[in-house]
Structure 1
């Protein structure tokens, strides 16, 4: 019994030792792959990628085969003649605008000078000499003085002195107004006809473009849009010529009205002085 008991005790101890060694053996193979797994990334670390140079964008300059220069170089005598007419219209309009602006400003300054010192003199002769030589107000004053002093002649004697002086002063005022309105008719003509001249050039250019396309037998977008767009330049030029002419015409008409009001006011005062001096002389 003692031997049997010790035998079973030893057998139990061996079994317990065998059971306890199984997890240890199982952990050793599991830890080995983990170690290799952690070592593998360290060994296979990829080198840093070299920086890729930025792609340089290059802009290709494309020559525009259409434009005013090409229109003049490739146009026929009708297209060139239309451009010349529009150029003359524009040049004449700007010349008239500048010169008429200068004349209007000049008369406005003369009006202020005449109002300030003309009627403060003792005699009309001395007062007229104070005005600027060649000015519109001196012309009106000298005309009125001459009409009042020289009222003789076979036909003018039938007109009373008051009417004769009034007619003479009014004619001088009309001459000043006519001089101010010189060139306005040209501005009105340019403003009303320049768009149609440009439109004529456009129609002629489109006609030539379509004829060339029909002869070539190619109707692609570049063959149609380019020449037609180039022909539209004529209309744009016509509008660019007409708009300043119309604006300048309206502005000068308004400015001339204001200027002529001061001229008529001066002539009315001069007429009153002439008639008053004549009555005092009697």
Structure 2
């Protein structure tokens, strides 16, 4: 085993670990910014949604972004699509309104989940294999050092300490790369569960509100189809002036007494 081959393999291992560290910190930064933006947009939309006077007004909130807004957007577009009875005769429209709404909301939530989980497999892989990559570099370096000792016939401290000490650096670097990757992976998995739970609750509440308004959502700028429909859109709480948040609290109270 030549010194050149040993140096190339050990240096290649260190360079690989450094590249993995750059990828790890890059993903941590990207996912961190992503979750900050998601939290901001979800809080903003949730506040504006439940402060809307009725579900009709909530359907036309402008300049909204984030997972909750996209889930609601799919729900509203589904209700508008099925308003007045769909003339389309395909498998997708064989569901009734509530079933189609549930299906569309779940599909959008799965898309949001895929976006949240993107990049986490890379963090998990780096956190799992980095110590072993570092150990590989260390073992190879020690093998080279022992080969040189056998060739020189000297086992003095000066001959052994230098090469073996350099080889052990690879293990230390591997551990240093793995720790932030594992911590970042666990942190973002926890954050994803929080976001997913929020979206799940939001979707359930959305279906309840749609059911309470008889799945009627008017297109922007159009007139209500009837006086009864107009009354339902203007006052989803049963005739008193309120907002969607009051209706949400009524739904919770009814479920508690049921």
TM over 0.5: yes
Aligned equivalent of 1:207: 143
- Residue 27 of structure 2 is aligned to residue 96 of structure 1: yes
- Residue 119 of structure 2 is aligned to residue 119 of structure 1: no
Unaligned runs of 5+ in 1: 1-72
- Residue 126 of structure 2 is aligned to residue 190 of structure 1: yes
Cα pair 2:59 2:76 within 8 Å, conserved: no
Aligned alpha-carbon RMSD (Å): 2.2
- Residue 96 of structure 2 is aligned to residue 165 of structure 1: no
Cα pair 2:126 2:178 within 8 Å, conserved: yes
For 1:43-192, list aligned pairs within 5 A. 76-122=7-53, 124=55, 126-130=57-61, 132-151=63-82, 152=86, 153=88, 154-192=90-128
Q: Max radius of gyration: which structure?
A: 1
Task: Specify which of 145, 155, 176 is matched with residue 240 of structure 1.
Answer: 176
Unaligned runs of 5+ in 2: 217-228, 233-258
Aligned equivalent of 1:221: 157
Secondary structure of 2:214's aligned partner = helix
- Pairs aligned (count): 210
TM-score if structure 2 supplies the norm length? Answer: 0.74
1:79–1:125 CA distance, 2 compared to 1 (3 A): farther
1:125–1:234 CA distance, 2 compared to 1 (3 A): farther
TM-score if structure 1 supplies the norm length? Answer: 0.68
**1-side partners of 2:74 and 2:215: how far apart?**
19
**1-side partners of 2:56 and 2:27: how far apart?**
35
Compute the displacement of 1:169 (Å).
Answer: 0.7
**Structure 1, 149-158 or 176-185: larger mean CA deviation:** 149-158
Cα pair 2:79 2:215 within 8 Å, conserved: no
1:177–1:112 CA distance, 2 compared to 1 (3 A): same
Secondary structure of 1:78's aligned partner = helix
**1-side partners of 2:134 and 2:126: how far apart?**
11
1:129–1:197 CA distance, 2 compared to 1 (3 A): farther
1:91–1:279 CA distance, 2 compared to 1 (3 A): closer
Cα pair 2:127 2:182 within 8 Å, conserved: yes
**1-side partners of 2:115 and 2:205: how far apart?**
22
Compute the displacement of 1:126 (Å).
Answer: 4.1
Higher relative contact order (CA 8 A, sep 6+): 2
Cα deviation code 1:171-200 (max 9, x no counterpart): 111111111111111111111100000000
**2-side partners of 1:145 and 1:106: how far apart?**
23
